[in-house]
Structure 1
Amino acid sequence: MVYLYNVNGEKVKELQLKTNDFGSVAGDFILPNSGLNGAYYIEINAASNGINFRNTVDFSVEEYKRPKFETQFTPVTDTYKVNDLVKITGKALAYAGSNITDAKVVYTVKRKVRYPSWYYWYRPYFSSEAQEITHGETKTNDKGEFEISFKAQPDQSIDKSSLPIFNYEITADVTDLNGETRSATTVVNVGYHALIANIMVNPILDKTKKNNQISINTQNLNGSFVDAKGYIKIYKLNAPDFVLRTRPWNAPDYQNFTFENFKTLFPHDAFQDEDDSKNWKKGDLVFQKDFNTKTAKTLELGNIKKWKSGQYIIVLESEDKFGQTVKDEARTTLFSDTDKTLADNQLLSVSANKNRYDIGDKAVITFASSAKNINLTVSIEKDEKIIKTEIIQLNNNKKSITIPVTENDLGGFTVNYSFAVYNSYQSGSVFISVPFPKTNLDIETITFRDKLQPGTEENWQFKIKGPKGEKVSAEILASMYDASLDQFNYHSWYFSPIQNSTYRTRTYSQANSSFGNSQFRVYNSYTNVRYPVQYYDQLDWFGFNFGRQHRNISIRGMSSMAKKRSGSVSGVHVVEDRIEAPEMMMEESEMSSLDDTVVVGYGTQKEVNNTEASTEKPKEIDFDDVQIRKNLQETAFFFPQLKTDKDGNISFNFNTPEALTKWKLQLLAHTKTLESSTRTLTTVTQKELMVSPNAPRFLRQGDVISISTKISNLTDQVLSGQAKLILTDALTGKEINGALGITEADKTFNVNAAGNTQVSWQLNVPDNIQAVQYKIVAKAGDYSDGEQNALPVLSNRMLVTETLPMWVRSNETKTFVLDKLKNNNSSTLKNHKLTLEVTSNPAWYAVQALPYLMEYPYECNEQTFSRYYANALASHIANSNPRIQEVFNQWKNSDALLSNLEKMKI
């Protein structure tokens, strides 16, 4: 079963489907026309061989306007320090591929501070408030690029010696010729120093090998590589002269013992913190060499076979281009298989000969100790069972065990060990990694185009290969949608049906206080007493909660738009975490509303000064041969169950969408044995000459609005031509340019090579049109484009019903005056209908009003009890007289139960 749930978790629709040979199902839902927007979700429940499966996926149902372009910053590669003039660049690019030229860019620069973190230096968490240091305005050039410059002013209250890094956050709001606004944010890191150097080395090095090396990474504060010179020094660390156990408690602040007395009493305990190698002092300098990352990012250690085994510290020192010293440290341990004893007087060392193993390998686990007479209990755990246990005795030496790796060991296993020495107990485990074979399919492209003409027929082909390149029989899910929607909610497919979990040991041993006992407890099991439970009749709350758990009530749910931290609407910059709108209630008029949520202002531009449209009377151009784009849907196709042929090939046909934008193709392939893979590709629908209207989502009666259209030229030549706006009544098909105040439908334009221009028309929306269909066409020589769409017109009028009760007895004459109808002084009010209804028994009105109490759409305590009262009263009335029951049955399938006010609307 597949269920669709709305924002409030209410079931909307359900489907009963059956899986195919590949274990997949496919179906479709039609979303409801009304209801709260936000996060819907689909739930699937299935059962097989007595096992139940359940999964969910959520998606957003919103009202929105599709973005036409995106704004991005270029990564910062230059190196700066405080008080430098920082220059960053960005670009605005239409999803259809054209540059956003001559667009206004409004920017702000804010500063925060953070401190560098080093593993050898603990610093408490620090957070600073953002401070605006500058703001300004610029424009994009003919390539859609813009540049922002600002002085990297430091915070003078921060000490230079702590090497702070100042984060300058730059936000740019780009508004194109149509009035659409898109934003981008980037961060530039600047400090008193301009270089970060890192040493990367394996934590364990086999000194018998000749390819041991150190990697050096030098970057500026923004993560870009910069070359640097310096030197590397390697020191042997001086380890204690005796074997130490793990310190059972922290080192005291003050010592009452001398070092000699302490070692006499506690020979295997650390006097201070010498059991931690981070506190060992540097010994002999064994290696020193200069480096230059411009020529090489690695440093060969050469022949280190004669170096002593044990721990070493590697020290790097360099300078940035401003002369600031930069340092870094790293540690590594040298060993050799020929070593007879464990270096640095360590208590125990456990190591494996490989990081990962394949089936047929042999895992060699080596145990070494500098102590004498240690008995290790070693157990091999596989599939949550101890398959072998043995005792290994160490006496200042090393010993190894060998474990064959079989097919049953996929996922890994563990080797557990424990021992007691010097009045202490220690335990641990070594994980033996045996990865599962790869199950990823390979989706190979055979036929695919990244640039398409709208409205053409396409055939794309792909080839599916197995993990080893073999032919496979697979099923493919293919879909393609408008990539601009990812600005609202990024979408991608995650599919990993084979859950190959890493093995986790089930064995754990410890001795909290060595051989002592600090507490003693006895736990008695609870006694379960069964007793009969008396159940009583209860009200059905239909999911309503009085706060038994969390003491909150979710009545309307949360719109997924409110989860966005920032966003934008065409012409409006949104900087709050969410937009709070007052709740409104409106009676439904004769015309059905557009949607439950209505956005009135949508960033239209009152005046545009940079248009290149001419005011001269245009020459007549024939627009009849212009191909009009009408299919502006957001989903190009959705093919859920495509099958490969015998060679693993898959192909499908589709008609290219007519919307000019970037499209995101997603492919998901899977086999009957759950081998799978996903792939994402992008393509663009574009034309040499493109019109991009910035029309609102709807019009309102009485609006005076400017409809602007951007004309983009992707050719390498200047184009001159005409654009035309054609308005028709969407219901009758009659042209209504004059009714909306369009006197000059034709506009001339000139647009530079790879440039943009803009034309606009002003509309005066009358009161007698319910929907407007616009058609905007442009033609310049052999190039042309056109777009057609419809805009609903919302009424500013609301149906108001005035009532006057008139009570007249038999043989009586009365005169009633409808004062509001008689004394009408409104210039906009229009009378709709006058209805007179006569009844001899008004008590029936009370009976007819009962459904109103039962079906009131809002949830609250008052309405809950009103429903209960109405149902109880209706039941009593219906059962009190059989004739009344007959009348109710006659009303059941008629409009008799409609209220009188509702009847008057009809």
Structure 2
Amino acid sequence: QRATNVGYTALRASMSAAEWLTSEKSVEITVATTTLDGEGQGADCALKIHRLKQPAKAQRASLTGYQPYPVRRGRRVADEAPKPDPANPNSWELGEVVAQDGFNTDAAGKATRTYQLPPGPYRALLTTQDRFGKEVTALLPLTVLDPKGKTLPLKVPNLVAAPKWSLEPGEDFVALWGTGYDEGRAFIEIEHRGKLVQAFWTEPGATQQTVRQTVTEAMRGGFTVRTTMVRENRAYLTARQVGVPWSNKQLSVAWEHFVSKLEPGQKETWTAVVTGPDAKKAVTEMVAALYDKSLDAYLPHYWTGGFGVFRYDSSSLTSQFENVVKQLRHLHGNWFTDYRDAHMVYRSFPEEIMANLWGYQYFGGYPDGKAHGLLPGMAGPPGKDGAAGPRGDKGEVHDMEARVGGERSSMRAMEAPAATAATVAPVTPAQTPDLSQVSARKNLNETAFFFPHLVSDAEGKVKLEFTMPEALTQWKFLGFAHDRDLRAGLLTGDVVTAKDLMVQPNPPRFLREGDVLEFTVKVTNQSATAQKGTVRLT
């Protein structure tokens, strides 16, 4: 089953860039052109980068949300774009073009362009055409910052940004706070495990400041950064969680020897290697299982990749700005309301009669001569001679004679000589194989193995010895390793059991006395060469 997307254009264009952009490095924009189904397609593109027209000063956002009123020309609404929202950079008008470029995306629909931009707000505009000549466009907002500056180059009330919000111990967390007002200060807090690591006011006279914090091993689980600024009767409250993952509790489990295609009944030995975060071999315990993957169609089976017992930091402090919009409210008194029952009941026929009239076609049938939707025991529509048809069971009228005759006729096979052996290709008696030595597959277990307690050696190697069942299917492997320090890792894989020459019988599901049987067998050759042999039915 496959879904196909249909639209007014046959091409889709998109652009992406990093969230943290500075004037110290070139801005890298990735362009992608694909079909509506997501397949890459080359296109001729033109890209322009506009500087945005900022308002004269930063303005606070509306409490009810920006709602531009339509422009009217008499009684007619003018077809004009709404005025930009001063507090939303995405609605600001385009200004001068600071960079433009023409290029082609490759066969996969990918292209990368770099531009050196000064600090400020920008919007990238991509224009291309599909194979029918229809125009396709894409927009990308860009905000370029200057971490070394003292003034925020963006007319917005409040801004908090960082290169990344997840770090490892030993790295320095860097964040940037700024305001587009001519002057303003904020209170910065860094909290870890309920205690303040840092708490300070930004420098007076500066509308932009860098926040730094060294991440230590004790900060695993993360910490919280909060900024608070009040301006023009509006509170700007920002709280961000900085992640410091428990990467030291993760094990890497990889295959050293693994065969993904096996024969039924084959004996095999797999070897996995477990290493720690420092790439050193780790002595661990492991539980492993291999089962029929088709069982996931009923209920998918997964194992955890680690122990969820480690602490993740979160702040219990919540801040809320109480200056909100208040609608008209009831203050005192009430209006007397008189309630009267206005329920009306109409006369109607009993349900037994109505059920036969509406939707069940009691007095009529369908073109196929059957009465659809009859209740059990209800008479069907009159036949050609005026007599009522057979009674319905489970909402249909059965033609038993035609049904039985159809089943018997479908079970009759073509006349064929009774033979217990069929020759696929003429062979000499010396080449005829001894089919008496061939036995049917018997081990059709759905679980190939389950090893609850495997222990790795000093080199971190775990060996799994097993015999595959004889079922021809796809198998799913799950392996979970852990050590005494609660470090853990998960290994998964898929295995297929198949034979170069397979026989798949297709017998009838049931027979009746007197039927002539035609037994069909499907022989599948998956090898690279043609095969000849003998098939015998016993």
Counterpart CA distance in 2 for 1:299 and 1:707 is: 62
Q: 1:476 to 1:394 in 2, by over 3 A?
A: same
* Map of 2:246 onto structure 1: 436
Distance 1:395 1:227 in 2: 51
Task: Give 1:407's match in structure 2, choosing from 217, 221, 225.
Answer: 217
Shift of 1:694: 4.1
CA distance in 2, matches of 1:508, 1:438: 31
Counterpart Cα distance in 2 of 1:356 and 1:718: 58
Choose the corresponding residue for 2:484, options 668, 672, 683: 672
- Whether 2:491 is the aligned partner of 1:491: answer no
- Which residue identity does 1:451 align to in structure 2? K
- Partners of 1:414 and 1:373 lie apart in 2 by 26
**Residues 84 and 92, structure 2, Cα contact 8 Å, conserved in 1:** no
Aligned twin of 1:663: 475
1:205 aligns with 2:21: yes
Distance in structure 2 (CA, Å) of the matches to 1:709 and 1:621: 19
Shift of 1:470: 1.3
- Say whether the 8 Å CA contact 1:240–1:344 is kept in structure 2: no
- SS of 2:154's equivalent in the other structure is helix
Q: Does 1:303 align with 2:116?
A: yes
Cα separation, 1, equivalents of 2:468 and 2:437:
20
The structural deviation recorded for 1:316 is 0.2
SS in 1 for 2:202: strand
Give the superposition deviation at 1:366. 3.4
- Residues 48 and 101 in structure 2, CA contact (< 8 A), matched pair in contact too: yes
Per-residue displacement from partner, 1:467-524 (whole Å, max 9, x unpaired)? 3321212122222223343444443433431355653332222232279999999xxx
Kindly provide the amino acid, as one letter, of the partner of residue 447 in structure 1. H
Q: Using a 3 Å threshold, how does the CA distance of structure 1 residues 706 and 364 change in structure 2: closer, same or farther?
A: same
The alpha-carbon deviation at position 324 of structure 1 amounts to 1.4
**Structure 1, unaligned runs of 5 or more:** 1-184, 256-270, 522-580, 583-600, 727-906
CA contact (8 A) 1:369 1:396 kept: no
Distance 1:435 1:607, change over 3 A: farther
**In structure 2, distance between residues paired with 1:725 and 1:515:** 84
2:287 maps to: 477
Taking a change above 3 Å as real, the CA distance of residues 719 and 361 of structure 1, as seen in their structure-2 partners, is closer
Identity of aligned residues (%): 28
Q: CA 1:359–1:456 in 2, change beyond 3 Å: closer, same or farther?
A: closer
Counterparts of 1:193-592 in structure 2, within 5 Å, are 193-209=9-25, 211-251=26-66, 273-294=85-106, 297-304=110-117, 307=118, 309-352=119-162, 354-372=164-182, 374-392=184-202, 394-395=204-205, 397-500=207-310, 502-513=312-323
Q: Give 1:30-41 correspondences, 5 Å limit.
A: none
What is aligned with 1:643? 455
Task: Please identify, of 410-419 and 362-371, the stretch whose mean Cα deviation from structure 2 is larger.
Answer: 362-371
Distance 1:366 1:394, change over 3 A: farther
Given that 2:256 and 2:271 are in contact with CA atoms closer than 8 Å, whether structure 1 keeps it comes out as yes
Q: CA separation in 2, counterparts of 1:451 and 1:361? A: 45
Q: Distance in 2 between matches of 1:252 and 1:650?
A: 65
Instruction: Please name the residue that 1:743 is paired with.
Output: none
Residue 301 of structure 1 aligns with an amino acid whose one-letter code is T
Query: Which of the numbers 438, 454, 460 marks the counterpart of 1:626?
Result: 438
Conservation of the 8 A alpha-carbon contact between 1:668 and 1:679: yes
Partner of 1:653: 465
CA distance in 1, matches of 2:22, 2:87: 24
Aligned residue type for 2:22: D
Query: Paired residue for 1:128?
Result: none
TM (norm. structure 1) is: 0.44
Question: In structure 2, what is the Cα distance between the partners aligned to 1:224 and 1:656?
Answer: 39
8 Å CA contact 1:310, 1:335 repeated in 2: yes
- Give the C-alpha shift of residue 353 in structure 1: 5.4
Deviation readout 1:39-72 (Å, 9 max, x if unpaired): xxxxxxxxxxxxxxxxxxxxxxxxxxxxxxxxxx
Alpha-carbon contact 1:370-1:395 (below 8 Å) kept: no
Instruction: Output the CA distance in 2 between the equivalents of 1:374 and 1:715.
Output: 76
Alpha carbons 2:57, 2:181 under 8 Å: kept: no
When residues 368 and 608 of structure 1 are mapped into structure 2, their CA distance, relative to the original with a 3 A threshold, is farther
Match of 1:723 in 2: 535
Could you give the per-residue CA deviations for residues 693-713 of structure 1, whole angstroms, max 9, x where no partner exists?
3468x8799796765432222
* TM-aligned CA distance change 1:273 to 1:302, over 3 Å: closer
SS at match of 1:374: coil
* Distance in 2 separating the partners of 1:656 and 1:448: 14
Report Cα offsets for 1:137-193 as digits up to 9, x if no partner: xxxxxxxxxxxxxxxxxxxxxxxxxxxxxxxxxxxxxxxxxxxxxxxx112334442
Residues of 2 paired with 1:433 and 1:621: CA distance?
A: 67
- The change in CA–CA distance for 1:501 and 1:217 in structure 2 (over 3 A counts) is farther
Q: 1:430 to 1:392 in 2, by over 3 A?
A: same
SS of the residue corresponding to residue 457 of structure 2 reads coil
Partner of 1:278: helix, strand, or coil?
helix
**How far is 1:330 from its partner?**
0.6
Amino acid paired to 1:693? P
Rounded to whole Å, the distance in 2 between the matches of 1:666 and 1:325 is: 49
Cα distance per residue 1:746-803 (max 9 Å; x no partner): xxxxxxxxxxxxxxxxxxxxxxxxxxxxxxxxxxxxxxxxxxxxxxxxxxxxxxxxxx
CA distance in 2, matches of 1:616, 1:514: 88
Whether the aligned pair in 1 keeps the contact of 2:250 and 2:306 (CA below 8 Å) is: no
Distance in 2, matches of 1:374 and 1:428, equals 16
For residues 684 and 392 of structure 1, the distance between their equivalents in structure 2, rounded to whole angstroms, comes to 63
For each residue in 1:81-129, what CA deviation from the matched residue of structure 2 results, as whole angstroms up to 9, or x when unmatched?
xxxxxxxxxxxxxxxxxxxxxxxxxxxxxxxxxxxxxxxxxxxxxxxxx
Note the residue ranges of structure 2 that are not aligned, 5 or more in a row. Answer: 71-82, 332-392, 395-406, 416-420
Q: Judging changes above 3 Å, is the alpha-carbon distance between structure 1 residues 191 and 482 closer, same or farther for their aligned structure 2 residues?
A: same
Residue 298 of structure 1, CA deviation: 3.7
What's the RMSD between the two structures over aligned residues? Answer: 3.8
